[in-house]
A and B are shown apart, each in its own frame.
Chain A
Amino acid sequence: DAGVIQSPRHEVTEMGQEVTLRCKPISGHNSLFWYRQTMMRGLELLIYFNNNVPIDDSGMPEDRFSAKMPNASFSTLKIQPSEPRDSAVYFCASTVRAGGETQYFGPGTRLLVL
């Protein structure tokens, strides 16, 4: 299994531009999580889906952030418009089901907003 796949691995953009991050979870996993990691705040859960349905989006910082999971094998995290403070590493993780199961993380997308 290729594990969780994220793209792009790196993204540099200008303030105000739209950014779309992509994630393909491990096949057969029913829960998908989006995280943001910075030096100052560490890992933060943004949103998670269970069976393609958003369950908890309380971590989404503001309306500029949106996430979708149109099917079991694909999810996007969109930032529009992007701001310099959005610069971080964004991780996607998947697990068989939400709860106490081990989460498998992707390699992350390193985002820099200038």
Chain B
Amino acid sequence: KNQVEQSPQSLIILEGKNCTLQCNYTVSPFSNLRWYKQDTGRGPVSLTIMTFSENTKSNGRYTATLDADTKQSSLHITASQLSDSASYICVVRGGNNRLAFGKGNQVVVIP
């Protein structure tokens, strides 16, 4: 079973609307959690990194949350733009420095 599960697998939203992506993990011990954005045909780009003590972190219109007790993270996109169409990948680093990858949330923003 994958140690990082993301949901929904894909979603379509109207430009200007908000959306929330979920990442649940079982990695233990936990070191940090990172959200990447991957545009079609390009490599992933880091959006945020969260450590155990951080609950919320923002990067422009992207806000990530972390609940280390329930092992859940979310990525909220505010006022979506067409350029937000991408795959969003959740990556969890364990205490042994191993990385566990989610399969990504595919977001399509339509005008």
Q: Mark each residue of chain B from 28 to 60: 1 if its CB lies under 8 Å from any CB of chain A, else 0.
A: 000110100000011111100101000000000
B93 within 8 A of A: yes
Contact partner, B103, options A42, A98, A102, Cβ 8 Å: A42
Q: Are B101 and A105 in contact (CB under 8 A)?
A: no
Residues of B within 8 A of A100 (CB): 31-32, 49, 51, 93
Q: Are B101 and A42 in contact (CB under 8 A)?
A: yes
Interface of B is mostly: strand
Residues of B within 8 A of A43 (CB): 44, 89, 91, 101, 104
Q: How far is the CB of B84 from chain A (nearest CB, A)?
A: 19
Q: How many A-B residue pairs have CB under 8 A?
A: 40
Given known A-B contacts A42-B104, A43-B101, A100-B32, A93 and B93 have beta carbons under 8 A apart: no
Which of A56, A100, A106 is most buried by chain B, counting CB atoms within 10 A of its CB?
A100
Q: Are B43 and A105 in contact (CB under 8 A)?
A: yes
Given known A-B contacts A42-B89, A100-B49, A102-B49, A107 and B101 have beta carbons under 8 A apart: no
B97 within 8 A of A: yes
Question: Which residues in chain B, 63-111, are within 8 Å of chain A measured between CB atoms?
Answer: 89, 91, 93, 97-99, 101-104
Residues of chain B touching chain A, judged by Cβ–Cβ distance below 8 Å, are 31-32, 34, 41-46, 49, 51, 89, 91, 93, 97-99, 101-104
